[in-house]
C-alpha cells in the first residue's frame, strides 16, 4: 500500500478507498478517467418498450379525447400478451410527447366575508402590529406601529407610538 498517500488522504478527510478508486481510474484511462462521469443508470428495467410506446401514441392520435386509462382499457383486450405500464406512466408518456393539453388553473376565490380593498392610488394606513406592548431593555413601554400602503401592501415605516397620543398621519 501507500502509507504516505493514506496520510495525505486523511489530512483532507477522505477515505483511502476513495483515493485508490481515483488512482485505479487514472491508471486505466489516464487524465480522461479523472473527469466526472454520468450517474444515469446504464439500464432501466421499468422503461416502456418502444413498440408499446408507439402503439399508445398512435392510438392516442386517433382518439384525441381519450386519456391514459381509457387507452389502456381499449388496448389491453386487443393485445393481451403485452405487459402494459401503469396509467400514470402512460399519462407521463403522452405528456412528454406533447399529446396532453394542460388544464386551466382554477380561480381561487377569497373568503366571501372578506373584501380586498379596491384602491386606485397610493394610500397609507397606520395600524398597530400587535395588541401587546413590549418592554425593551430601557424599561419604557413601546407600542409598535407599522405604516403600510394598502394598494401595494408595501411596508413604508415602523415607528414607536405613544399610548393615548395623537394618531400618526403620513403624507
Query: pLDDT digits over 114-160, tens only?
Result: 666 565 655 555 454 444 455 556 655 555 666 665 556 665 566 66
For residue 30, the enclosing domain spans 3-34
Query: pLDDT digits over 10-23, tens only?
Result: 665 667 777 778 78
Query: pLDDT digits over 53-72, tens only?
Result: 999 999 999 999 999 999 99
- 115 within a domain of the structure (yes/no): no
Res 62: pLDDT = 96
- 106 within a domain of the structure (yes/no): no
- 125 within a domain of the structure (yes/no): yes
Q: How far is CA 33 from the centre of its chain?
A: 34
Say if residue 56 is in the same domain as residue 88: yes
- 17 within a domain of the structure (yes/no): yes
Say if residue 82 is in the same domain as residue 57: yes
Burial 4-26 (b: 16+ CB within 10 A, else e): eeeeebeeeeeebeebeeeeeee
- 42 within a domain of the structure (yes/no): no
Say if residue 57 is in the same domain as residue 81: yes
- 126 within a domain of the structure (yes/no): yes
Question: In whole angstroms, what is the distance from residue 166 CA to residue 171 CA?
Answer: 15
Res 53: pLDDT = 96
More confidently predicted of 42 and 159: 42
Res 132: pLDDT = 46
- 160 within a domain of the structure (yes/no): yes
Say if residue 63 is in the same domain as residue 87: yes
Edge-to-edge order in the sheet of strand 143-149: 124-128, 143-149, 155-161
- 111 within a domain of the structure (yes/no): no
As for how many domains the chain has, the answer is: 3
Amino acid at each position: 500500500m501507500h502509507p504516505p498517500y493514506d496520510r495525505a488522504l486523511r489530512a483532507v478527510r477522505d477515505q483511502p478507498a476513495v483515493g485508490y478508486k481515483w488512482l485505479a481510474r487514472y491508471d486505466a484511462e489516464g487524465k480522461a478517467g479523472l473527469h466526472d462521469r454520468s450517474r444515469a443508470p446504464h439500464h432501466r428495467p421499468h422503461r416502456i418498450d418502444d413498440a408499446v410506446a408507439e402503439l399508445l401514441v398512435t392510438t392516442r392520435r386517433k382518439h384525441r379525447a381519450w386519456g391514459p386509462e381509457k387507452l389502456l382499457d381499449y388496448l389491453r383486450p386487443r393485445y393481451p400478451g403485452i405487459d402494459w405500464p401503469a396509467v400514470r406512466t402512460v399519462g407521463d408518456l403522452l405528456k412528454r410527447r406533447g399529446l396532453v393539453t394542460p388544464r386551466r388553473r382554477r380561480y381561487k376565490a377569497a373568503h366571501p366575508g372578506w373584501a380586498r380593498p379596491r384602491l386606485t392610488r397610493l394610500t397609507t394606513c397606520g395600524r398597530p402590529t400587535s395588541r401587546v406592548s413590549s418592554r425593551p431593555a430601557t424599561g419604557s413601554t413601546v407600542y409598535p406601529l407599522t405604516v403600510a400602503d394598502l394598494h401595494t401592501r408595501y411596508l413604508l415605516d415602523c415607528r414607536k407610538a405613544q399610548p393615548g397620543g395623537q394618531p400618526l398621519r403620513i403624507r
